[in-house]
């Protein structure tokens, strides 16, 4: 049995909201991926070129359009600050599914991230 997440809508908790990555999000995604405190965990502290960020964005959008799941940006509701992203994308050519959750280090010990994960895990899967 193959299960597929089919959610491209916004998801809210009491203090956070998630928005599916959109084609217009390249500047904010690239800024986040090149932040020193973020890239040390994703890219061995290498600054990724904007072309690599664009490839990640394109892959995420393709995964959303073909499979109904992808990457969501995580925002604080009270300040509208983008604090990270979460989700899964399907990379070619071997079609390996990769799941990610990366957030700003200053959010590391916040209970709201546990609530976010609980909300995501509570979402039903659709065949």
Structural domains present in the chain: 11-122 (3.40.630.30)
Helix (H, G, I), strand (E, B) or coil at 6: coil
Average pLDDT over residues 87-109: 75
Residue 34's pLDDT is what?
92
Residues 6+ apart with CB under 8 A from 89: 56, 59, 60, 63, 70, 71, 97, 98, 100
| Joined tokens for residue 4 | 């597929």
Q: What are the phi and psi torsion angles at 69 (to 5°)?
A: -135, 165
Beta-bridged to residue 97, according to DSSP, are: 90
pLDDT class for 92, splitting at 50, 70, 90? Answer: low
CB 83, CB 76: distance < 8 Å:
yes
Quote the distance between the C-alpha of residue 104 and its chain's center.
12
Average pLDDT over residues 33-54: 88
User: Per mean pLDDT, which range of 3-17, 39-53, 79-93 is the poorest?
Assistant: 3-17
Task: Read off the pTM.
Answer: 0.76
């Amino acid at each position: 049995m193959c299960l597929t997440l089919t959610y491209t809508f916004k998801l809210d908790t009491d203090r956070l909201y998630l928005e599916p990555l959109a084609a217009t999000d390249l500047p904010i995604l690239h800024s986040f991926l090149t932040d020193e405190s973020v890239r040390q965990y994703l890219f061995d502290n290498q600054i990724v070129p904007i072309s690599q960020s664009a490839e990640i964005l394109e892959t995420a959008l393709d995964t959303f359009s073909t499979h109904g799941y992808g990457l969501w940006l995580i925002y604080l509701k009270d300040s509208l600050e983008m604090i990270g992203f979460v989700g899964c994308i399907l990379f070619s050519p071997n079609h390996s599914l990769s799941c990610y959750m990366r957030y700003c280090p200053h959010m590391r010990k916040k209970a709201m991230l546990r609530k976010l994960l609980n909300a995501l895990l509570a979402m039903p899967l659709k065949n």
